[in-house]
Copies of this chain bind each other. A is one copy, B any other.
């Protein structure tokens, strides 16, 4: 590892929704997140295991999509080093003042234009009366409502060209590629990157419309595959659109269910079992177009809308099939 990761983990995302009431219902009643606070058009939501105040900021907006992805650094010095690295790479941004439980943060963008917020200082959550857990090694009481997801797990960005974005994550942020799909022409079709022992934290997938800054999906991890199966029943009986699954990905072997939240954003409910990438010199797994065409682990074909639905919607004519 030439560049040690200065990123500790995915912190939170800000998600945009044109259906704020119904999206809030989805995240609280279906996924089981807890509302922490509100500010203007935004609601701050947390899982029961978030040690920080929140991991999802849900913001009413004219369209769907992702406004921002926040990454916590491993320290203040590492934050400063990352800022220097971003500026040196020509991807410099600007500092934001402390807000909503965070200290100063630095806002930059990946080459495709997705906003990346880097921060170190954060407020640790203290559960109020009524939300206190019985076990002191847990942030908040387990809600017993909806799916009961444990954490924001990863973000899958659409990018006009995945390759340069993956390079940015590796070269500037210190991420590592664990798996990827490489087209027959040598270009990267999709790339899975991690800052941790999780097998991925960020993913770049080619945007078939050639657009920039869009979202393929957000993922929340639940504790068991049974939680994912139960989630499918909950979605079925509460009119949440199920796109595909549950099934097991060939790539990364994650057990998955894809749904659309009412604002139109794709949300994955996932369970990685106990799989971790512990090898410090992990050798990236490269899948060819032919291998990818085989579908998912147990034979499910990859659903067509995986290559046509991203947020926000765009009207451009597709320029390429990812």
What is A's interface to B at a CB cutoff of 8 Å? 1, 4, 8-9, 29-30, 49, 51, 72-75, 124, 133-138, 141-142, 144-148, 150-151, 179, 196-198, 221-227, 229-230, 232-234, 236-238, 242-248, 250-253, 255, 257, 271-276, 278-283, 285, 287, 291, 297-300
Contacts and interface: CB of A to CB of B under 8 A. Distances in A.
Contacts of A9: 278-280
B196 A273 contact: no
Given A74-B280, A142-B234, A275 B150 contact: yes
Contact of A250 (B135, B224, B251, B287): B135
Q: How many copies of this chain does one complex carry?
A: 4
- Most B-side CB within 10 Å, residue of A136, A198, A271, A298: A298
Contacts of A142: 233-234, 236-237
Nearest to A52: B279
Contact of A237 (B133, B230, B283): B133
12 contacts: A8-B279, A51-B279, A137-B251, A137-B285, A141-B237, A142-B237, A144-B237, A151-B278, A222-B274, A224-B224, A236-B297, A300-B300
B280 A234 contact: no
B276 A196 contact: yes
B238 A229 contact: no
A245 B298 contact: yes
